[in-house]
Structure 1
Amino acid sequence: GFTNYNVGRGEHMGFQTQKPLGLLEQIIRASSNPGDVVFDPFCGCATTLHAAHNLSRQWIGIDIAIHAVKRVARMRLRDQLGLVEGKDFEIEGVPRNIEGARDLWERDKYHFQKWAVEEAEGFVTTRRTADGGIDGRLYFAVPDDPMLQSMVIEVKGGNPTIADVRSLRGVLEREDALMAGLIIMDELGDRKDRNFRKEMASAGHVELWGNEYPAMQILTVSDLLDGKRFQTPTVMGKHTPEPRMPGLPR
């Protein structure tokens, strides 16, 4: 028979249907032998892969969500199991260059947006319908305030216009956020870049912890792939599945 398992302390990764590690280990132990290959075509937060690794099985996992694959690689395989990408495991299907990002945009715009937000170390908007110009947020602490403040993020994979910048400024004011970030696919031409940055500069700066940060900022996908990030105070929760401060969406 099977033991009654619950997701243990420290296991939870923010997936509503996450299964207990002990349960998956019991199933794998009963249905395979060491050295066998365990295949999970809907791996989600990779509990099956974790259990297979613990029991000396080889494993393959697939998931449709790019952000889930990235989270699994960071939190489950690297942080919990101590595995090294390129040595102990390989990831396929996650953009590594601008061509891969364009391919993802063409195939699935929603998952491209989620990938871009998480690449910027933000939290994605959970709704798949109209999002009011917000694809994600970065959260950070501010002086003398127990609540986290945020930067709203919008992702534009097509051809952005100055109207998009003005619209994002409206979102910034409507949401009462401190900053707004725009992620675009490609570099802008010189004239367009000047117009964008002039419009963004008109939103002013935010002073926090003795530093000034532009209230509106822009990054390209190439910037993200090169490791550049939005200028903010230290981002909260970027190595956890969801913010843990009161008043934040879950």
Structure 2
Amino acid sequence: MKYSTSKVGCIGQKKPTESRCSSGHLDESPGIPALDVITDIAPLNNVAKERLGYPTQKPLALLERIIAASSNPGDIVLDPFCGCGTAIEASEKLGRRWIGIDITYLAIHVIEERLQKTFGPKIKEAYTLYGRPEDAEDAKALAARDWLEFQKWAVFTLGGLPKDRPGADGGIDGVIRYHRIGMERASRAIVSVKGGLNVGVDAIHKLKSVVKREEAEIGILVCVNPPTGPMLREAASEGEFGPPTKRVPKIQIVTVEELFRPVPVHLPGMLDPPEAISMPAPGPGKRGRKRIEGQTEMLFPIEGKQRAEDKGKVKGNRSIRPVAIEVTRADRRKAK
């Protein structure tokens, strides 16, 4: 006699179990359906390693479970609001084909960086990106259609990060962080994106004041239209910045056409990797008492003759001088 097997389990269970009825035969009932309430995957907290800063980001394990339970390898997964790309990464890991759609260039940039970090640079050959400007005409059309998205795209193209929120920007549309050789503190270049027919030398004056106010080293003005002669002369009057081996203009003007060059801006150093851009620049450390671990709280006299210059300053046969050292026991620190 042949018996059919009924598998009972839920999503996430390693092995389905077989159920037998009271007579000893395998139960032919359909089993228990998978639950739609998942409690064993915690939401992302502020210190999670996979957190990218997106307010609606979901855990990767959650999307992997949902996609694994609702599709087969080779199927197409559509995420029409893909945000930071959690469903995209999960689909790629599980061998699914995928389509991701989002309206902001911030999301596109985050997803591309995420995929390259997880799967390597060759992942760019595995997908096609639609909607990003391919030439100056596309960029100008984007500027006319959605100015804020054009600003984000321009800043990303320069290798920087745009401002977090729309609104009063104080003359700053983005920031490029870079390192100069021999300098521990990260340097900054301020990016200002301007459009329209009334952009003139005043835009250079404002950028110079912002660079000075923010204590940045370089200012970059992105113009939709070609700069005027007075703008070029005013920018050149600010001089150059950087080490003798690589001096660059302190105020640089970049047109839309120049954004498509391999090196649209000139910086006196190397750009930070994406994961280091958001890290705060190191500041001067606070002076305090030096701590030496693993030593006991005991002082021993040193045998020797008293020197003439130490008269009145000694106790017993050892010179005494004030020191800024706090001696502690290593085992005490561990106990705390």
TM-score per shorter chain, which class? 0.7 to 0.9
**Count of residue pairs the alignment pairs up:** 242
Partner Cα distance (2:162, 2:276) in 1? 11
Max Rg structure? 2
Check whether the contact 2:211–2:219 (CA below 8 A) recurs between aligned residues. Answer: yes
Could you say if the C-alpha distance between residues 67 and 179 of structure 1 is closer, same or farther in structure 2, counting changes exceeding 3 Å? same
1:179 aligned partner? 218
Name the TM-score, length of structure 2 as normaliser: 0.65
Q: CA deviation at 1:65?
A: 0.9
Partner Cα distance (1:112, 1:154) in 2? 12
2:323 aligned partner? none
Check whether the contact 1:237–1:243 (CA below 8 A) recurs between aligned residues. Answer: no
Structure of greater relative contact order (alpha carbons < 8 Å, 6+ residues apart): 1
Check whether the contact 1:5–1:22 (CA below 8 A) recurs between aligned residues. Answer: no
Check whether the contact 2:180–2:270 (CA below 8 A) recurs between aligned residues. Answer: no
1:129 aligned partner? 167
SS at match of 1:111: helix
Which one-letter code corresponds to 1:221 in the other structure? V
Q: Any unmatched runs of 5+ in structure 1?
A: none
1:90 aligned partner? 128
Q: CA deviation at 1:220?
A: 1.2
Q: CA deviation at 1:213?
A: 1.9
Q: CA deviation at 1:127?
A: 2.4
1:168 aligned partner? 207
Pick from 13, 36, 42: which aligns with 2:52? 13
**Residue identity (%):** 34
Check whether the contact 2:180–2:269 (CA below 8 A) recurs between aligned residues. Answer: no
SS at match of 2:186: strand
Deviations 1:124-182 (A, max 9, x none): 11120010111011112346654322111101132321111111112122222111011
Pick from 168, 178, 188: which aligns with 1:140? 178
Pick from 102, 115, 119: which aligns with 1:63? 102
C-alpha root-mean-square deviation of aligned residues, in Å? 2.4
Residue 53 of structure 1 pairs with residue 80 of structure 2: no
2:190 aligned partner? 152
2:147 aligned partner? 109
The structure that is helix-richer by fraction is 1
Partner Cα distance (1:178, 1:12) in 2? 31
Q: CA deviation at 1:211?
A: 2.6
Pick from 189, 207, 211: which aligns with 2:246? 211
Check whether the contact 1:142–1:209 (CA below 8 A) recurs between aligned residues. Answer: no
Name the TM-score, length of structure 1 as normaliser: 0.86
Deviates more, 1:223-232 or 1:143-152: 143-152
Partner Cα distance (2:97, 2:73) in 1? 8
Check whether the contact 1:213–1:231 (CA below 8 A) recurs between aligned residues. Answer: yes
Could you say if the C-alpha distance between residues 197 and 138 of structure 1 is closer, same or farther in structure 2, counting changes exceeding 3 Å? same
Deviations 1:101-146 (A, max 9, x none): 1121112111110110110001111120010111011112346654
Which one-letter code corresponds to 1:40 in the other structure? D
Partner Cα distance (1:79, 1:243) in 2? 16
Partner Cα distance (1:105, 1:37) in 2? 33
Q: CA deviation at 1:31?
A: 1.7
Which one-letter code corresponds to 1:91 in the other structure? L
Could you say if the C-alpha distance between residues 19 and 233 of structure 1 is closer, same or farther in structure 2, counting changes exceeding 3 Å? farther
Partner Cα distance (2:130, 2:158) in 1? 20
SS at match of 2:126: coil
Pick from 72, 75, 89: which aligns with 1:36? 75
Partner Cα distance (1:186, 1:84) in 2? 35
Q: CA deviation at 1:224?
A: 1.4
Q: CA deviation at 1:43?
A: 0.8
SS at match of 1:182: strand
Partner Cα distance (1:236, 1:9) in 2? 25
Could you say if the C-alpha distance between residues 198 and 137 of structure 1 is closer, same or farther in structure 2, counting changes exceeding 3 Å? same
